[in-house]
């Protein structure tokens, strides 16, 4: 498979603020690539720079060194104003915080990208409605974000990205704020959707089980400054039954190896 996205010797440190030391290196010499249609999961310690990495891939932040190449084009270095957030809707990003618009209802938030892209019609509306049903938000469409629970807001922000069908999706702990039952349900839904469309997904999580269950490949990052600590190809056959995966012999072995690498 051809590499769709390549991260080469990426480094990042934040600019200094007046009266402060410049930040230490958050990411140092990080390299990996993502193939077209691949499901990549990334695990790493908290504060390790995973969100920072996704921000740079989505072009809402610049790298301090190295290169990010998407479809053979390098992201601009240094100058924030020349960035193209989302690269013309080719990269969707489910951020760690839900970033819902507080003055729009659940449904209006989900429809926002379609409206912005001028793609709002009966067909896309029906699609949005089916996604709302799939994540169990039916009946809450007219509620404002402050009237939804943390997990419901998270699900709203998830389908706000799915609804416009970007070819690449970055997800930053999208299932962090939901209970175990719903989480498995959402994981299964995500795998089903991915199987249908075979998008490229880069999925950040703290949960090693989730990382293995979903992925074609798992990347383990080190502590700050983060680089690649290990890479694991997951060959557990698909379609997978997430509820039963815990007992799969390959899973047990992978879990042990990844746990040892995550400090």
Partner 1 sequence: MTTPTLSGQAAGAAALLRGGPLGLLARKRDQLLVLVVLLAIWQGLSILLGEYWIGTPWGTVRRLVSGIADGELLQHASYTVAEAIIGFLVGGIPAAALPFVLRRLPMVTAIIDPIMVGGYGSPKLALAPLFILWFGIGIESKIALIVFTVFFIVYFSTLAGIRALDPKLVQMAQMSGASESDIARHIIFPGAVPHIFAGLRIAMPYSIGAAVVAELISANRGLGYMIQLRSMNFDTTGIFVALAAVCFIVAVANWIVNIVERHLLLWRPPADVTAQKE
Ligand X SMILES: Nc1ncnc2c1ncn2[C@@H]1O[C@H](COP(=O)(O)OP(=O)(O)OP(=O)(O)O)[C@@H](O)[C@H]1O
Q: Which residues of the shown chain bind ligand X in the complex (CB under 6 A)? A: 14, 23, 26, 44, 46-52, 96
The reply to whether 60 sits near partner 1 by the rule CB under 8 A is yes
Choose among Mg ion, ligand X, partner 1, none what residue 92 binds, the Cβ cut-off being 5 to 8 Å by kind. partner 1
**Cβ contacts of 14 within 8 Å, gap of 6 or more:** 22, 23, 26
Q: Which is nearer to ligand X, 17 or 146 (CB)?
A: 17
Residues 32/219, Cβ–Cβ less than 8 Å: yes
The reply to whether 91 sits near partner 1 by the rule CB under 8 A is yes
Binding segment toward Mg ion, per CB under 5 A, in 31-39, 96-104, 132-140, 247-255 = 96-104
Buried b (16+ CB within 10 A) or exposed e, 195-215: eeeebbbbbbbebbbbbbbbb
User: 93 pairs with which residues across the strands?
Assistant: 170
Rounded Cα distance between 146 and 190, Å, is 25
The reply to whether 197 sits near partner 1 by the rule CB under 8 A is no
Give 153-202 as a DSSP string.
HHHHHHHHHHTT--SEEEEESTTTTS-HHHHHHHHHHHHHHHHHH--EEE
Quick note: the x/- pattern for partner 1 over 127-166, rule CB under 8 A, is: -----------------x-xx------------x---x--
Among 35, 36, 112, 165, binds partner 1 (CB under 8 A): 112
Minimal distance, residue 96 CB to Mg ion, in Å? 5
Distances (CA, A) of 243 to 191, 233, 239: 13, 20, 12
Choose among Mg ion, ligand X, partner 1, none what residue 113 binds, the Cβ cut-off being 5 to 8 Å by kind. partner 1
Q: Which is nearer to partner 1, 103 or 239 (CB)?
A: 103
Minimal distance, residue 92 CB to partner 1, in Å? 7
Minimal distance, residue 94 CB to ligand X, in Å? 13
**Cβ contacts of 52 within 8 Å, gap of 6 or more:** 12, 26, 27, 61
Q: Which is nearer to ligand X, 172 or 189 (CB)?
A: 172
Q: Which is nearer to partner 1, 88 or 181 (CB)?
A: 88
Give 57-76 as a DSSP string.
HTTSS--SEEEEEETTEEPP
């Amino acid at each position: 498979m051809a590499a769709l996205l390549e991260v080469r010797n990426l480094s990042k440190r934040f600019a200094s603020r007046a009266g402060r030391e410049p930040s230490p290196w958050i990411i140092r010499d990080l390299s990996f690539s993502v193939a077209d249609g691949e499901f990549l999961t990334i695990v790493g310690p908290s504060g390790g720079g995973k969100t920072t990495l996704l921000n740079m891939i989505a072009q809402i932040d610049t790298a301090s060194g190295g290169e990010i190449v998407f479809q053979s084009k390098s992201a601009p270095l240094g100058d924030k104003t020349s960035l193209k957030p989302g690269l013309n809707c080719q990269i969707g990003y489910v951020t760690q915080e839900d970033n819902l618009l507080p003055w729009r209802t659940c449904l209006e938030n989900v429809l926002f990208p379609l409206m912005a892209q001028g793609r709002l019609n009966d067909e896309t509306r029906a699609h949005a409605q089916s996604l709302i049903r799939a994540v169990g938000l039916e009946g809450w469409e007219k509620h404002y974000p402050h009237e939804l629970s943390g997990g419901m807001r998270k699900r709203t922000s998830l389908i706000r990205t799915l609804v416009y069908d970007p070819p690449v999706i970055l997800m930053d702990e999208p299932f962090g704020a939901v209970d175990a039952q719903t989480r498995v349900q959402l994981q299964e839904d995500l795998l089903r959707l991915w199987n249908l469309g075979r998008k490229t997904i880069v999925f950040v999580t703290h949960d090693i089980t989730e990382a293995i269950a979903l992925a074609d490949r798992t990347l383990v990052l080190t502590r700050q400054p983060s680089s690649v600590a290990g890479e694991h190809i997951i060959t557990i056959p698909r379609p997978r039954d997430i509820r039963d995966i815990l007992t799969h012999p390959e899973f047990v072995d992978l879990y042990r190896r990844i746990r040892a690498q995550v400090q």
